[in-house]
Chains A and B, each alone.
Chain A
Amino acid sequence: MAENPFKADIEKVQKEYSEKMTTGAIVYIPGSSVVNKTGGWRVFMPKFDKDKCIRCFICYTLCPEPAIYLDEESYPVFDYDYCKGCGICANECPTKAIEMVRETK
């Protein structure tokens, strides 16, 4: 499975942030929008059916976050740390390979 290419950077910066509160909660490192996990408030999550996928990349292209990566075989991989559960991928998928299901722990 393909990994988020920024994973190392993200972990480094996340560590720095969790260690020290700044005056006025100011973020001094650029690009923090990449490192803050934003998937925490999701209600629905995409469930992917690899058999139906035709690798058209529409989900990958339209994800507003973007929280979908492509693996070596060009199948989509969902990064649930950043997927907000908007459902655009499921809505646009021409073969209905993505289904939005209620998130449960």
Chain B
Amino acid sequence: MPMRKVMKGNEAAAWAAKLAKPKVVAAFPITPSTLVPEKISEFVADGEMDAEFIKVESEHSAISACVGASAAGVRAFTATASQGLALMHEVLFIAAGMRLPIVMAIGNRSLSAPINIWNDWQDTISERDTGWMQFYAENNQEALDLILIAFKVAEDERVLLPAMVGFDAFILTHTVEPVEIPDQEVVDEFLGEYVPKHAYFDPAKPITQGALGFPAHYMEARFTVWEAMENARQVIAEAFDEFEKKFGRRYHMIEEYKTDDAEIILLTMGSLAGTLKEFIDKKREEGLKIGAAKMTVYRPFPIEEFRALAKKAKVLAILEKDISFGIGGAVFADAGRALVNEKEKPILLDFIIGLGGRDVTFENLEDVVEISKKALDGEKVEEVNWIGLRKEIL
């Protein structure tokens, strides 16, 4: 029987790692790394988890150790956040290019300066082009489930790409919620054992990994990463189906909430989706045709699902906790890319919200709706809207 426990997001991620049975967990024990490795080190010390726990001297080393472990042919896991993820940046490309199915839990946090340890998505958004798949969890249960799904997809032979699972710092990492911990046997059935076919360490069959790729080969090697990411769409859909069969919980690339007759749809990722659903209920009572959507998978970008969503709305407002300086929201830019050649498209609005752990209140969301209504009425609105900005101190 699945066990129900009240736990923090950090612990949920650690439980997911325990259930996935990685052979190597490498982590740098400091705040940005979140408390996930701390809990895992407990599991290992108590003999509940049969993994090599490597304490390293930086996140750069943590991911490097994972690359080494994965290249040797075992399941590898790590967790980090914020500046720690930024320090891994260089190695993230290597993990993807070598097609190593490493899974990493990220307590989504802002980046310095100023120093800030609270929630936004700037850390993972900044790594969107590394070739890692990206999942975003709405709650602690999703943090656990998506890590299991991430392993399943990453290790599929059609994909073989690393994956990061983001769950909002503090909002999820440090608050408690009831979480269902699946049975080990069912997880074992779902994931199976990782049997490496392309990357392994075998003295009897020496191979070279991470070799030099001359101009004659580099482009083809990168194309295989692109191809794998395209394959991931199908594999993720299959994994969601199988997850539902085994565990009873359903996931979607883009989850829609009251969108069928909606004129205005608010799209977001992560924990903000929970707030949005409540807000939508309230606005529905007031008679507004409004809906919400949550993007669970950001890389690969769910282009078809997004186009289907966009067809339903007259105004599609994208709320995101990140900023790409000089253009606007990163998710917005991707959304625009997905719609650019569509004949019929909604008005797309770009909202920057909740950076650095600033609370997203219903008042903020009212502002979003006001601007969306204006756009719906044909009024001209700002191209990039910073919501909840304290203009009086600027």
Chain B binder among A22-30, A63-71, A81-89, A96-104: A22-30
Please tell me which one of the listed residues A21, A28, A30 contacts residue B217 in the complex, with CB atoms under 8 A apart: A21
Q: Which of A1-44 contact B (CB under 8 A)?
A: 17-18, 21-28, 30, 32, 36, 40
Please tell me which one of the listed residues B160, B206, B212, B216 contacts residue A23 in the complex, with CB atoms under 8 A apart: B160
Q: Does B337 contact A (CB under 8 A)?
A: no
Judging by beta carbons under 8 Å apart, are A21 and B221 in contact?
yes
Judging by beta carbons under 8 Å apart, are A25 and B211 in contact?
yes
Query: How many B residues face the partner with a CB closer than 8 A?
Result: 21
Q: Does B284 contact A (CB under 8 A)?
A: no
Residues of B within 8 A of A25 (CB): 97-98, 211, 213, 217, 221, 224
Residues of B within 8 A of A26 (CB): 98, 198-199, 207-209, 211
Q: Does B220 contact A (CB under 8 A)?
A: yes
Judging by beta carbons under 8 Å apart, are A24 and B160 in contact?
yes
Shortest Cβ distance from residue B153 to the other chain A in the assembled complex, whole angstroms: 16
Shortest Cβ distance from residue B214 to the other chain A in the assembled complex, whole angstroms: 7
Q: How far is the CA of A25 from the CA of B98 in the complex (A)?
A: 7
Judging by beta carbons under 8 Å apart, are B211 and A32 in contact?
yes
CB-nearest residue of chain A relative to B98?
A: A24
Shortest Cβ distance from residue B219 to the other chain A in the assembled complex, whole angstroms: 10
CB-nearest residue of chain A relative to B216?
A: A18
Residues of A within 8 A of B213 (CB): 25
CB-nearest residue of chain A relative to B205?
A: A28
Judging by beta carbons under 8 Å apart, are A27 and B207 in contact?
yes
**A interface residues, Cβ below 8 angstroms from B:** 17-18, 21-28, 30, 32, 36, 40
In the complex, the 9 A-B pairs of residues with the closest C-beta atoms, listed nearest first: A24-B99, A27-B208, A25-B221, A23-B198, A24-B98, A21-B220, A30-B206, A27-B211, A28-B207
